[in-house]
Amino acid sequence: MADPALVIFDCDGVLVDSEPLSLAVLSRAIAETGLTMSDDEVRAAFMGPTLDQIEAGVAQRLAASGRALPDGWLERFLADRAEAFAAELLPVPGAREAVEGVRRARLDACVASQGRIAKTQMTLALTGLTDLFADDRLFSSTMVARGKPAPDLFLHAARGCGQPPERCVVVEDTVAGVRAARSAGMRVLGYAGTHGAAALAAEAAEPFGDMRDVPALVGGMRVAQT
C-alpha cells in the first residue's frame, strides 16, 4: 500500500460524542409514535442509516400495524436532537489532538459523515472543532448515490481531496463505516467506541481505543514503508 496522504474522519462517534444523545432522542421520538422498541433495538436498526432511511424504517414498522407516521415527525426529531446537542454535546476525548497530530505529520484530513453537512457543521461548532476543517473538507452521504456501507462517500471524499483510495486512511467507529472504507480500498482504523473492538476487527479494521493514538497509528505505516 502507498504511503498515506489523507486521513478521513467519520464525525459522529469519532469526532463528536453524539451517538448516546441521538439514540436517546430517537428512542423517545419512536416511542411517541406508539411503537415499542428497546434502546438496543433502536440502536441496531437506526444508528448509522441516513435520515431518509430512519424515517422510512419507522414508517414501515408503523404501517405493519396499520398506522401512519405522524406528519412532521422527522422535523420534530431533528429539532429535539438539535436542542439536546446544544445542551450536552461534547467532543470525543482526544479528537482535536488526533486531527492536529495528523496535520503536524503533513497529512491532509477531512470529514466524511453519513449526516448532512449542516449537522456536521453544527456538531463541530458546538464542540469547538470547527477550526480543524475547511468547508471543502466536509463531505456527506447526501452528496453521493449511496451512503455507508457502500464505498461511494469515501471515494467521493478522496476525489474531493485529490487523493487515490490507496493513499487514504479512514477512522471509523461503526461496522457500516468500516465496510464502506474497505469496499473503497482504504485502510481503516476502528475506534472502539460504538461497536467495540471485536466487531470492528471482524470487518478487517485495526481497532484502537484512544483517539490520541491516531497520528502514531497512521504514522506507523509511513515509518514502516520508508
Same domain, 43 and 135: no
What are the distances in angstroms from CA 138 to CA 61, 80, 175, 197? 33, 24, 21, 27
For 89-207, where are the alpha helices, taking DSSP H only? 95-104, 117-126, 152-160, 175-183, 197-201
Measure the CA–CA gap between 121 and 138, rounded to whole angstroms: 8
Q: Identify the domain containing residue 55 by its residue range.
A: 19-88
CATH number of 52's domain: 1.10.150.240
DSSP states of 94-115 as a string?
THHHHHHHHHHTT-EEEEEESS
Is residue 191 within 8 Å of 211, Cβ to Cβ?
A: yes
Q: Is the predicted pLDDT of residue 126 greater than 60, yes or no?
A: yes
What are the distances in angstroms from CA 161 to CA 97, 144, 167? 21, 15, 11
Mean pLDDT, rounded, of the chain: 93
At residue 50, the pLDDT reads 83
Is residue 106 within 8 Å of 140, Cβ to Cβ?
A: no
At residue 63, the pLDDT reads 95
Minimum mean pLDDT range among 82-91, 99-108, 189-198: 189-198
The mean per-residue pLDDT over the stretch 128-143 comes to 97
Q: What is the per-residue pLDDT across 32-67, written as a single tens digit (0 to 9) for each?
A: 999 999 999 998 888 878 888 899 999 999 999 899
At residue 44, the pLDDT reads 86
Residue that finishes a domain, picked among 41, 57, 88: 88
**Cβ-proximal residues to 137 (8 Å cutoff; 6+ apart), any chain:** 108, 109, 110, 111, 160, 161
Indicate the pTM of the whole model.
0.90
What are the distances in angstroms from CA 15 to CA 10, 87, 93, 111? 7, 17, 8, 9
Residue 1 in domain: no
The mean per-residue pLDDT over the stretch 113-131 comes to 96
Same domain, 190 and 107: yes
Residues belonging to the active site:
10, 12
Measure the CA–CA gap between 117 and 153, rounded to whole angstroms: 13
Measure the CA–CA gap between 22 and 47, rounded to whole angstroms: 8
What band does 120 get if pLDDT is binned at 50, 70 and 90?
Answer: very high
Same domain, 102 and 42: no
At residue 2, the pLDDT reads 79
At residue 225, the pLDDT reads 34
At residue 226, the pLDDT reads 30
Q: What is the per-residue pLDDT across 140-197, written as a single tens digit (0 to 9) for each?
A: 999 999 999 999 999 999 999 999 999 999 999 999 999 999 999 999 999 997 668 9
Residue that finishes a domain, picked among 51, 66, 88: 88
